Amino acid sequence: MSERSRYQKILVPLDGSVWGERAIPHAVDLAQTHQSSLILLHVLTASTRAYTDQLALAGQAGQATQSQVQMQQYLNGLRTGLVQRKIEVTTQLLEGPGVAEAICDYVIEANIDLVVMSTHGRSGLARLLFGSVARRVLESVDVPVLLIRPDKE
C-alpha cells in the first residue's frame, strides 16, 4: 500500500505576470514528485470589480466581464500546457477584497497542502507602499509556503 503524499493539493497563485509564472516550474516538479494536483489561482480584486461595475453602469456590460474572460483564458492556456505534461491541473478565478486575503481563505476552503508562489522582489519604499502579498500569505496560512524569488539581473 502506498503512503499518501504530504502534498496532495498544491496552490499556485498567479497575477498574470511573467514574474508570477516563475513559480510554475517549481510547482510542476513538486507535483510530479508527489503525484499531486495543481490549482492555478487568480484573484480579481475589489478595485477591479469596481471598475467593471462602472463599465456596466455606463452601458458597457460586455467590457465589464472582459477582465474575467481574459484571465480565465490565461489560466486555461497555462492549464493546457501542463495537462499535456500529464499533470492534474484545475483553475480557479476568485473575486475578493484583497489578493492575500482571498488566497488565505482559499487555502482553508480547498484544503490546500502547499502554496508555491513568486515574490516580486520589491524592497524599501515599494514594499511599504504596495505591501507584500507573499509575506501576508506566508504569515497567515498554516501550510508550507514555497516562495520563488525573481532572478537577479
Q: How does pLDDT run across 70-129, given as a tens digit for each residue? A: 899 999 999 999 998 889 999 999 988 899 999 999 999 999 999 999 987 665 555 554
Residue appearing with cell numbers 467590457: 63
Mean pLDDT computed over every residue of the chain? 84
pLDDT(153) > 50: no
Q: Are 115 and 146 in contact (CB under 8 A)?
A: yes
| Most confident of the ranges 5-9, 42-46, 108-112, 123-127 | 108-112
What grid cell was written down for 106? 482559499
**What are the C-alpha distances in Å from 51 to residues 43, 72, 97?**
15, 18, 13
Instruction: Report the topology of domain 9-148.
Output: Rossmann fold (3.40.50)
Greatest C-alpha distance within the chain: 60
Q: Which triple of cell numbers denotes residue 19?
A: 514574474
Q: Output the pTM of the full model.
A: 0.83
In this predicted structure, the answer to whether residue 131 has a pLDDT above a threshold of 70 is: no
- Ranges of beta strands (E only) in 1-140 are 9-13, 37-45, 89-96, 114-118
For the cut 50, the answer to whether the pLDDT of residue 1 exceeds it is no
- Give the pLDDT mean for 33-43: 96
Distance CA 65, CA 2 (A): 45
**DSSP 8-state class, residue 7:** -
Map out the domains of the chain as residue ranges: 9-148
pLDDT in tens, 56-72: 555 555 554 778 888 99
